[in-house]
Amino acid sequence: MSNIISALEWRYATKQFDTERTVSDADIETLKNAINLTATSFGLQPFRVVVVTDQATKEKLRAAAYDQQQLTTASHVFVFAAKQDVSPEYVDGFMKMTAEQRSIPFEAIKGYADYIKGTMASKDAAFVKAWSNKQAYIALGSLLAAAAELKVDACPMEGFDSAQFDEILDLTEKGLSTAVIVPVGYRSAEDQSQHYAKVRFPLEEMFL
């Protein structure tokens, strides 16, 4: 079996983490890179990520997440916050970075920048928010796969109050709102859900 499939079979949505264990800085760095390397529409990466380690903050987040214990037992909590607006200035900043990182003049890609700005300007605010959220979810997938490969446990979660998360983490003033969260750490021996069989549709049903 390929390594990626055995890693994905090993992983599960962890309900209770071992509070004695902390994910190493090196593994957190790998997870950050996996998130940052994810594909996004136009490459705009219209989200930012807060990595929470402070226990008092985790307690507050747990209260805003239907008291789910993943929040306080995890080593680190990744909070994906989607940009609520993709302004012309943001697109220009991104295109200037593109020009720098590719060592080309900005003028060479100005037309493309104008095209992206035009596309974003043609969408209403609700579309842009939903679109940013979708980009964050692509990164969520990258994080889950990378964590599995590292044998780091994780739980993707959308069972939380995003307005409360935004307040606790001061996201609103930054033009961000919580899209999805992923506590990571190591499974507790007491977490019974690690023994549950995976439930998935057979491939014949999934693939048409």
Comparing CB distances to ligand FMN, the nearer of 143 and 176 is 143
Q: Closest distance between ligand FMN and the C-beta of residue 42, in Å? A: 23
Under rule CB under 6 A, residue 157 binds ligand FMN: yes
Stretches 9-17, 55-63, 113-121, 182-190: which one binds ligand FMN (CB under 6 A)?
Answer: 9-17
Q: Closest distance between ligand FMN and the C-beta of residue 93, in Å? A: 29
Q: Closest distance between ligand FMN and the C-beta of residue 200, in Å? A: 8
The answer to whether 127 and 117 are in contact (CB under 8 A) is no
Stretches 8-16, 29-37, 75-83, 112-120: which one binds ligand FMN (CB under 6 A)?
Answer: 8-16
Under rule CB under 6 A, residue 159 binds ligand FMN: yes
The answer to whether 156 and 136 are in contact (CB under 8 A) is no
Q: How far are the Cα atoms of 18, 111, 150 from residue 154, in angstroms, in the given order?
A: 12, 41, 11
The two structure tokens encoding residue 63 = 């209260």
Q: How far are the Cα atoms of 3, 33, 68, 78 from residue 151, in angstroms, in the given order?
A: 12, 16, 22, 17
Under rule CB under 6 A, residue 180 binds ligand FMN: yes
Alpha-carbon span 58 to 74, nearest angstrom? 9
The two structure tokens encoding residue 68 = 């789910």
Residues within the interface to ligand FMN (CB under 6 A)? 12-13, 15, 68, 155-159, 180, 198
